[in-house]
Structures are given as C-alpha cells and as structure tokens.
Amino acid sequence: MSKLTLDRILQSQGFGTRKWCSELIAAGEVSIAGITVTDCRAAIETSGLVFQLFDEEWVYREKVYIALNKPANYECSRKPSHHPGVLSLLPEQFARRDVQPVGRLDHDTTGLLLMSDNGSFIHAQSSPKRHIPKLYVATTHTPATPELVAQLLAGVKLHDEPAPLAAVTCRILAEHQLEIVLEQGKYHQVKRMLAAAGNHCVALRRTAIGGLKLDELGLAEGEWRYLDETQRELLVRDS
C-alpha cells in the first residue's frame, strides 16, 4: 500500500508543477469516485487509483509503458529538428513525465515503437546483450531474390562494423518485399545491409519486437496504447 498527497499524484502523472496541480485541486477540477477533492494535501492510496481531471478519467500509473504505431515523417527525438517528434502524438503530460522512445526508428520508418519513463526498462530493451529479435518488413528497389536472402542470412560487411552482420531469419514476402529479423539494432541496419547486398530499401516497417506483434495491438498509424504486464513480458522473448 502506498499513499501520496493528491498534488504529488497529479505532478507525478505529468499534469504540471506541484503548485499548478494544487491550484487545480483547489479549483475543484479533481474528483475521485465521483467526489470532488479540494484538499491538495489529502493522502490518497495510489494502488488502483482512478481519478477525474477536467471531466476526463485517468488511471494512476507509477511508470508508463506505451506502444505506438509510428507513422512516417516523425522523429524519435525529444528535440526534433526536421520533422515533428513522436511525443507530439501522445497527450502532452507524457513529455512532462519524461517519456522517451525506446531506441529509434528513422523518420521515414514506420511501425512498432516502444516508449516509457522507466529508465531501467528503456536500458534493458535497448541493450544488444539482450538479443531481443525485431521483425521488419522491407520494400526493395529491385526484386528480392533467393540470392539476396542468402546474402543477408550469411552476413554482409558494413564499412564501420568489425564483423559481418547477418539476419536471424529472412524470407521473401512479395517480388519487392522481404521479412527480416534482426537482433543487433545497429544504426540504419536494415537499410545498410540491403545496400551492402546490392539492393536498396525504399520503405521499412517494424512489425514486432520479441513476441509483441503490432497487428495484434489493433493500432492504426499514429495511435498508441498502454502495455500491460502480460504484453511487456512478450517483449523479452520471440513467440
């Protein structure tokens, strides 16, 4: 059991400074179980807490774990330079509670992107030592051939890597489309591997991380959802 004062609860959820949250509470903007609470110092049990702010319902979450179906032309950065940042697709309070992308997808790459404010989770999911498989669908400039698949499975040499990088699995989906599974997560890896193998990637979409599959989350492009514990467990293993 854990209790926090109501102003600290709102602050922890990203609704503003503690002073601002106290003013919202005093103004009668917060209610719990249909009862307006105006005492900012009221000690509230956080476990299972559901509260209403500006007539919108919120569930208290100590940490948030989010899956986003990233559209093209969004940057995985808190300080984007040429395109909007992915945080602009989420409610603004997530930026205040320091939600960050887990790793990066290029601005023109679409698909499954994880986001969280849990540093340990971000580090664990980003660590190459975990060998978490990530599945991509790549559209190629020239036709995908069995020879191209064989090259990617055998490993291709990239100019700044000490050893060849190989796909875990690779198969042809259509004349110009490959399904590729990688574990390393190197910079621009799919695109650079295809280029090193003599082809060119014209579109790239990440469709799964571990056993978590984008098509099972029911997210249209630009949509997001919280991940529950069962879904987070899928991230550490391949289904």
Contact 152, 167 (CB under 8 A): yes
Distance CA 120, CA 47 (A): 21
pLDDT of residue 168: 95
Q: What is the DSSP letter of 97?
A: T
The answer to whether residue 128 scores a pLDDT higher than 80 is: no
- CATH fold, domain 3-59, is 3.10.290
Coil vs helix vs strand at 227: coil
Q: Which CATH number fits domain 65-128+212-234: 3.30.1300.10, 3.40.50.150, 3.30.70.580, 3.30.1490.100?
A: 3.30.70.580
Banded pLDDT at 1 (limits 50, 70, 90): low
55, 106, 117, 215: which is the annotated catalytic residue?
Answer: 106
Rg (Cα) of the chain, in Å, rounded? Answer: 22
For domain 133-209, give the CATH number. 3.30.70.1560
Higher pLDDT among residues 34 and 185, named by residue? 34
Kindly indicate the confidence band of residue 185, based on its pLDDT and cuts at 50, 70 and 90.
confident
**DSSP label at residue 85:** B
**pLDDT at 239 (0 to 100):** 46
Alpha-carbon gap, residue 227 to 151, rounded angstroms: 36
Q: Is 106 a catalytic residue?
A: yes
**Is the model's pLDDT at 170 over the cut of 70?**
yes
Q: Is the pLDDT of residue 162 over 90?
A: no
Supply the pTM of this predicted model: 0.90
For the chain, the structural domain boundaries read: 3-59, 65-128+212-234, 133-209
83/223 Cα distance (integer angstroms): 18
Kindly provide the residue ranges of all beta strands, DSSP E only, lying in the chain, ordered along the sequence.
Answer: 3-5, 30-32, 35-36, 43-45, 50-53, 56-59, 65-70, 100-101, 110-116, 134-140, 169-174, 177-182, 201-209, 212-213, 224-226
pLDDT score at 238: 53
| Helix ranges restricted to H, the chain | 6-12, 18-26, 93-96, 119-126, 146-154, 189-196, 229-234
